[in-house]
Amino acid sequence: MRPGIALIGLLMCLLAGIWISCSGLPAEAATTERVVVNRFSGVAIEGFDPVAYFVDGAAVQGSTEFEANLWGAVWRFRNEGNRASFLAHPEIYGPQFGGYDPADIARGVAIAANPRFYVISAQRLYLFSREANRDAFAADPERFLYEVRKRWPALQDQLSQ
């Protein structure tokens, strides 16, 4: 192949990649074990908007129109403002412990949370697998978080294997 033709082909591929990334098409999904995602779609926290917990005080479904890819997961939002807020401060708006239930982590097991059961404590989002865990955590978050901080690093290592 002649160098000129190869260069033109490379430029066309680069331009196509730029168009796809700027076209508003949904983000590509890549899954990870450290963030709770749907194993088929790569969507985090069942498509709920993580910023809406703070802004609306409720679990609100996001839209495929407003997606972002971060931490190997596809995140959905109800509007562009929530998407922008999340991307600017994912450490604040993202669910703590990747969306695993902190009450279960405190017991030494990593169980994916149900995004409908949540608590915002100290300006951080925590998701739970069941109501009883949410209620127990809400009554004394520091007690749970003390245990979680001890156990989470080992559980993270297990999840990544």
Q: What is the pLDDT of residue 120?
A: 97
| Mean residue pLDDT across the chain | 84
Beta partners for 68? 75
Q: How large is the average pLDDT for residues 8-37?
A: 44
Strand, coil or helix: 155:
helix
User: pTM, whole model, 2 decimals?
Assistant: 0.78
Report d(CA 156, CA 42) in Å as an integer.
18
